[in-house]
Amino acid sequence: MRFSNTKFTVTTGALVFNDRGEVLLLKHAFRAGSGWGVPGGFMERGEQPDETLRRELMEEVGIEVTDVQVFNARSFKRPRQVEIVFICRSNGDAKPMSLEVERAEWFRPDALPEGLARDQKKLIEAALSNGANHRD
């Protein structure tokens, strides 16, 4: 695909599950409404998407992840953005490490926070229907 005279940003998002089958959500200071959403961030020049994901998780909540797999890619007209969504695992103790993040919590899939964006809830549901929280 060719992008001539088109400016867009590339971001990553993470559906991070732990061994208890919970999903990590962050309450970002800059998000409208409740602020809850999946972790992620903007790619930097020269970075690979999985490197962006790992860097953002370390910077925002101080965790490392394993079993990183591409789950979905989607684009948005406003903002002009392409997002690569990963599924991964972590049992780390997520805690806010950045002024961007007010809270970091693990949620049971049947007890997601009020105000979580519908598109992010659908991503979590799709990941779960594909066995994302299966524990070996």
CATH of the domain at 68: 3.90.79.10
Question: Does any domain span residue 108?
Answer: yes
Total number of domains constituting the chain: 1
Closest CA to 28 of 114, 99, 120, 100: 100
Does the pLDDT of residue 75 top 90, yes or no?
no
Closest CA to 91 of 14, 15, 13, 19: 19
Q: Average pLDDT in the 53-64 region?
A: 96
pLDDT band for position 81 (50/70/90)? confident
Provide the percentage of residues in the chain whose pLDDT is more than 90: 60
CA gap 109, 21 in Å, rounded: 8
Which tens digits make up the pLDDT trace of 87-133? 999 998 999 998 889 999 999 999 999 889 898 999 999 999 887 65
Question: Does any domain span residue 30?
Answer: yes
Q: Average pLDDT in the 63-70 region?
A: 95
pTM for the predicted model, two decimal places: 0.86
